[in-house]
Structure 1
Amino acid sequence: MWITHFLSQLLFALGAEALNFPYESLQLTQQDVGNFSAISFGNPLSVPSVYQGPKCKIQPEDATWPSEKQWAQLNATLDGNLLKPYPLGAACYPDRPEYNMDTCAYLLGPATTTRLFFGDPLTALTTWGEGATCLQLLNTTGRTCVQGGFPVYVVNATSVRDMQAAVNFARNQNLRLVIKNTGHDFIAKSTGRGALSVWTHFLKGIEFLSDYSIGEYRGAAARISAGMEAWEAHNAMVNAGNITVVASLEPTVGNGGGWALGGGHGPLTSLRGLGADQVLSLNIVTADGKFLTADVNQNQDLFFALRGGGGATFGIVTSMIVKAWPRQTRIGGLTFYLTTGTGQMTIPSARGYPSSPPVHIADAETFWKAYRVYLGFAKEIVDAGGFGFGDVNPQGNNTYVFVGTITLPDYASERIRDFYTPLFSSLSEIGVNVPNPRHSFLPYAQAGIGVTPISFPGSSADRLFISRLLPRSLWANGSRLDAVAVVNRQNAEMGYRVTARIYGPSAEAAGYPGNTTSAVNPAMRNMVIHCVTFKQEPVDILPAAEFRAEHAKLRARINELVRLTPDSGSYFNEADILEPEWRTSFWGEHYPRLLKIKKAVDPWALFWAPKTVGSDEWEVVTADGLPTQNGPLCRTGT
């Protein structure tokens, strides 16, 4: 949705500078609360310093579960926006009333190229984290479909008032509360058994501001709604002409949600910083049900925490104001392929850039030397403000495809060939000749329809993976980088897909106010590669013992990278749900401050998600012991 000049006039008429969109003007009042005490606002000062509440959040089978009358009263408060949905996969199970084999076949076929799953209130693209309790399968013999790890009720939020009522109801009724936007979620933050979910997906809006001032910032900006996705932001940039905002690489990721709150990388990261670095102001509903603004002038601690401290942690962000640049950005880029083996190869996407035919390398040692050459060149890409891919894709029988992509935003067209020529010269010196490398320029903002190869549950999102940030210090020590290359080779030889996302959100790239005043993992300020190692096969249907065995095997391999990068960490938004030492791995020296802020703004621990700040005081108790959300949320310890 394109927000026009009418919005600016409306907000001005309302006389509320904190409002970015009309849906924020509709707020819960004491008159709304009336005799419905279940939606009363909270008072953080009244919360005991030592937890004295129930052991667990209540579940539907508990006697204290809200009555149908209470749910109906909440729905009335929400003007009918309370949903009680069933999992889409129910269509595949003969014992379910929703059973329809044609619908089931559609979900597994044509629907995967549509927006259907983004418009579903329950679907998370990573199904194993929910607990795989209602998988979409043509053959469901021996399996069941139950609500399981999915929320029971969903608030389809259309206003701040909806969010406030949901927050207050969940807190006062001892319900588990979760937040869902698009369903892009690797560690199951947006789902939970017995939960009330706040769904922000349909809060759409963007408005570009030619002149915006706050603190030391003077320049263009954009108001972005909580549910705005990257492809929608791109469409708005295309329509507006000379404007650029930083967005996710994956078009269907929510630009105004967990992407920015947890960091947020993309094609412009080395040049402009992370998504978190763009934020100038945020509007948020906090755990007491209040609506407030956080920026450099007010609620500064919360402003610090929300930029990199992780989504689903401090409240529900309703909108934000982010930096913008009053010009179009174009990106120069190229892709090349190196292969081993002589059989049929699956060639990954060239991501829209020109590529030469795949270069076949008969000798495995030469292939891995070429891989090491590309790793060595990664720092050059980051230092030029670029973004790269360097992925090793096992093809079976000890054969591989390597895809290397270099993208350079706002780079001088007459210099780009000079930039990448040293890479191909180094490859030529070891006998790998890439014929006629050629590049092209593409506009950064490209119109889209919000459908991608990972727009459906059970896609590549359901692969077990672990990530590690590779610090700049490796490039000052050739032997250590050699050792990293050897570990990655060994992992690929074991059948793992080893990927490199090359970007560096330095303090200089972050600029004001993101450089040293945000909760972004300090390890990200000195990184060159975000290395992710994937198990190729899906894990959503693995028995518990096999899942644990597969995870332990992969973790043992990644520990070799940890040993080589002891002062680094991992990226919260793309992390292992069983990440050890996760506090320092995700937030480093910032964690103590983040925990203090968390306890101050949410002393009820209402906003809980795995591996988020303060999450170790609660745990999901599952029957199989797996780290899914298919179980009650209970206090840890006795």
Structure 2
Amino acid sequence: MNRRDLLKASLALPLLPLALRAGAAPTAAIKLLAGPLAFHRVRPGQPGWPAPAQWDELRRQVGGRLLLPRSPFAECPSAACTQALKQLDNPFALGDDPALTQTSGWADAWISQPSAYAVAAESAADVAAAVNFARQHRLRLVVKGGGHSYQGTSEAPDSLLVWTRHMNQVSLHDAFVPQGAAGHAQPLPAVSVQAGALWIDAYDAVTTQGRRYVQGGGCATVGVAGLIQSGGFGSFSKGFGSAAGNLLEAEIVTADGKVRVVNAYNDPELFWGIKGGGGGSLGVVTRLTLRTFELPEFFGAAMGCIKASSRDAFRALVGRFVAFYREALFNPHWGEQVGFRDGDTLKISMVFQGLTQEQAQQTWQPFLDWIKARPEYSIVEPVQTIALPARHFWDAAFFREHAPQYIVPDDRPGAPAHHMIWRGDHDQVGWFIHAYQSAWMPASLLQPGRRDVLADALFAASQHFDYALHFNKGLAGAPADAIERARDTATNPGMVEAFALAICADGSGPAFTGLPGRSPELAKARQQASKIDLAMKELLKVAPDAGSYVSESDYFLRDWQQRFWGSNYPRLAAAKRRYDPEGLFFVHHGVGSEAWSADGFTRTA
């Protein structure tokens, strides 16, 4: 039996006892299993598509908040198109339009297209009404909060969209106890965040205003709910663990339309599944409660760029950095990334927490002394360390006054004053992806006997395409309690054994359908994708079993179940069968998606 047949059998087995207990003969059980093969979701204009009166009833149930999303680029030139073009580089503006997404597409994979209808949800009851309507009428259902998905999971044409953007309240708790946990769990400082909130909203409330820390995403416009469900890594994850590992409780609407409050005591398997099991597969998360931490005195960054005069010199530089990282940076204080570039260049873009600026400078000094003692290296950008009071790290007012060059604010009239993104993330706004691959690099490669093998692979990969090691997205080196919390999630277990996530990617500017004067450069995209594939193959030679981060991975990944979730996938599949047996929730390469056509409209297994 091949792997696909085995997978089909594993999906079918849990239904057999149900059929047999009901007194059915084995042949009847087989017919029961065969039924879903004929299931098709309906599209506009097909028999079964809801009549106008039925849509009106849904509109009434959700307080009039049923929308007809239309891309502003669908009818250019027009006033709407002109206004949208002015805000094309503003991720907040893109997210505020239910017809658009923060990623405009992926070469030969998908392109952003609006849903047929959207429910602008303001409560879990609105979400439940949309879920029930989609189930009853056999509609393709899509969920979008931040709309940051690289894989296109927050959009689909001919679908009903649950749009949670307006559910963005953030509430702090001094002593939170999950429902059903009284007498069993210690009260903890925490924050509850609705599903439509972005991480900049959470950071503003928790850190800038509340003087606490919550582990979230590095990019400020990522949606809170999406990040938690994908596992969740941010700049300081090496110190505080994954975002999913810090989840205490969630409110979620399941396929039966029931609003559930889940935690380690109520529906624990569903709770575990949404901690890294991928968004949009098990239900619609409407609220999350996360533990918060004491805020360090300082957050800071170390930035610079070093160029080698030859390839041999660059290989030596890579080897020296690998050793230096293991000696000085492989600990909870340091995160973010170092880039390896084809121009024999090492780009340093790291952050730190819990150190003073002087301590950070002292940490880097031995490496810088090694560089300065060798004429084959030149400092393209001086390696500098800066530190600031941690409460100001996401403080837009502070950066406007003291360091405006590091941020891009939301400049629309009436926009929340705290809305900003890091300038380094600005090139991702609306981008069209050519290729994107990732791999968790095991910490065993940092052992003295393996460092040369790692350095050889890092150097070889750089000769094909630029890439980076994101140290905060592998938890090896984190505190034991952070690792333990992360182990109790659905994320690939290899994540806690990895010292970094290697990411190799490329893209171009926005390419929304109808955008004037812009269309995807597919020939260039395919060429770049081939180079990225060669680069990643060099890294996978030394990490052949490496997992891949579900939110930042290859759209065309073949063994995605193993790469995303490893040994956790069977348990996730069981949760999917229990809470969504008919497969209402579908996303590309999501749990249970192997039973559906690529567009999610036809059941195939």
- TM-score, normalising length: structure 1: 0.77
Return the alpha-carbon distance in structure 2 between the equivalents of residues 551 and 406 of structure 1: 27
Deviations 1:471-526 (CA, angstroms, capped at 9, x unpaired): 1011121232023213322223xxxx312211232474553972432112111101
Structure 1 counterpart of 2:441, from 461, 466, 470 = 470
AA paired with 2:591?
V
Q: Please give the residue correspondences for 1:208-607 in structure 2 after superposition, counting only pairs within 5 Å.
A: 208-214=172-178, 215-255=184-224, 257-327=225-295, 329-339=297-307, 361-379=308-326, 380-392=328-340, 399=343, 402-411=346-355, 415-431=359-375, 432=377, 434=379, 437-444=383-390, 445-448=393-396, 449-452=418-421, 459-460=430-431, 462-476=433-447, 477-492=450-465, 497-503=466-472, 504-506=474-476, 508=479, 511=482, 514-537=485-508, 541-542=519-520, 551=529, 554-607=532-585
Structure 2 counterpart of 1:122, from 94, 99, 122 = 99
Deviations 1:204-235 (CA, angstroms, capped at 9, x unpaired): 11122122345544431111111121111222
Q: 5+ unaligned residues in a row in structure 2: which ranges? A: 1-17, 23-28, 179-183, 397-417, 512-518
AA paired with 1:300?
P
Return the alpha-carbon distance in structure 2 between the equivalents of residues 172 and 405 of structure 1: 50
Q: 1:368: Cα distance to partner?
A: 4.3
Check conservation: 1:285, 1:317, Cα contact below 8 A. Answer: yes
Aligned residue in 1 for 2:89? 112
Return the alpha-carbon distance in structure 2 between the equivalents of residues 131 and 167 of structure 1: 30
Please, what is the CA RMSD of the aligned residues?
A: 3.0
Distance 1:51 1:553, change over 3 A: farther
The DSSP-based 3-state class of the residue aligned with 1:201 is coil
Structure 2 counterpart of 1:77, from 49, 55, 61 = 61
Deviations 1:561-601 (CA, angstroms, capped at 9, x unpaired): 22320232110111111112111111111011111111111
204-213 or 553-562, which deviates more: 553-562
AA paired with 2:237?
T
Return the alpha-carbon distance in structure 1 between the equivalents of residues 543 and 347 of structure 2: 25
Deviations 1:373-408 (CA, angstroms, capped at 9, x unpaired): 3344334423243103212456xxxx4654202322
Return the alpha-carbon distance in structure 1 between the equivalents of residues 378 and 427 of structure 2: 38
510-519 or 567-576, which deviates more: 510-519
AA paired with 1:471?
P
The DSSP-based 3-state class of the residue aligned with 1:289 is coil
Distance 1:598 1:436, change over 3 A: closer
Return the alpha-carbon distance in structure 2 between the equivalents of residues 315 and 510 of structure 1: 29
- TM-score, normalising length: structure 2: 0.81
Check conservation: 1:309, 1:613, Cα contact below 8 A. Answer: yes
Aligned residue in 2 for 1:4? none
Structure 2 counterpart of 1:614, from 587, 592, 602 = 592
Q: 1:372: Cα distance to partner?
A: 3.8
Return the alpha-carbon distance in structure 1 between the equivalents of residues 99 and 92 of structure 2: 14
Aligned residue in 2 for 1:197? 161
Return the alpha-carbon distance in structure 1 between the equivalents of residues 523 and 386 of structure 2: 49
Check conservation: 1:271, 1:509, Cα contact below 8 A. Answer: no
AA paired with 1:308?
G
Return the alpha-carbon distance in structure 1 between the equivalents of residues 243 and 389 of structure 2: 19
Distance 1:110 1:582, change over 3 A: closer
The DSSP-based 3-state class of the residue aligned with 2:35 is coil
Q: 1:424: Cα distance to partner?
A: 1.8
The DSSP-based 3-state class of the residue aligned with 1:571 is coil
The DSSP-based 3-state class of the residue aligned with 1:296 is coil
Q: 1:68: Cα distance to partner?
A: 1.1
Aligned residue in 1 for 2:73? 89
Distance 1:104 1:235, change over 3 A: same
Return the alpha-carbon distance in structure 2 between the equivalents of residues 112 and 226 of structure 1: 24
Distance 1:596 1:548, change over 3 A: farther
Return the alpha-carbon distance in structure 2 between the equivalents of residues 313 and 204 of structure 1: 21
Check conservation: 2:165, 2:196, Cα contact below 8 A. Answer: yes
Check conservation: 1:55, 1:634, Cα contact below 8 A. Answer: yes
Q: 5+ unaligned residues in a row in structure 1: which ranges? A: 1-44, 93-98, 136-148, 340-360, 621-630
Return the alpha-carbon distance in structure 1 between the equivalents of residues 197 and 107 of structure 2: 24
Distance 1:103 1:285, change over 3 A: closer
Q: 1:446: Cα distance to partner?
A: 2.1
Aligned residue in 2 for 1:138? none
Check conservation: 1:389, 1:404, Cα contact below 8 A. Answer: yes
AA paired with 1:207?
S
Return the alpha-carbon distance in structure 2 between the equivalents of residues 192 and 110 of structure 1: 23
Q: 1:86: Cα distance to partner?
A: 0.7
Deviations 1:527-554 (CA, angstroms, capped at 9, x unpaired): 1121111235569545878866764553
Return the alpha-carbon distance in structure 1 between the equivalents of residues 154 and 111 of structure 2: 16
Return the alpha-carbon distance in structure 2 between the equivalents of residues 516 and 133 of structure 1: 33
Return the alpha-carbon distance in structure 2 between the equivalents of residues 457 and 241 of structure 1: 29
Return the alpha-carbon distance in structure 1 between the equivalents of residues 316 and 373 of structure 2: 11
Distance 1:488 1:132, change over 3 A: closer
Return the alpha-carbon distance in structure 1 between the equivalents of residues 312 and 46 of structure 2: 61
Q: 1:119: Cα distance to partner?
A: 0.6
Distance 1:203 1:383, change over 3 A: same
Instruction: Looking at secondary structure, tell me which structure has more helix per residue.
Output: 2
Return the alpha-carbon distance in structure 1 between the equivalents of residues 215 and 359 of structure 2: 24
The DSSP-based 3-state class of the residue aligned with 1:185 is coil
Distance 1:89 1:426, change over 3 A: same
AA paired with 2:497?
N
Distance 1:581 1:114, change over 3 A: closer
The DSSP-based 3-state class of the residue aligned with 1:561 is helix
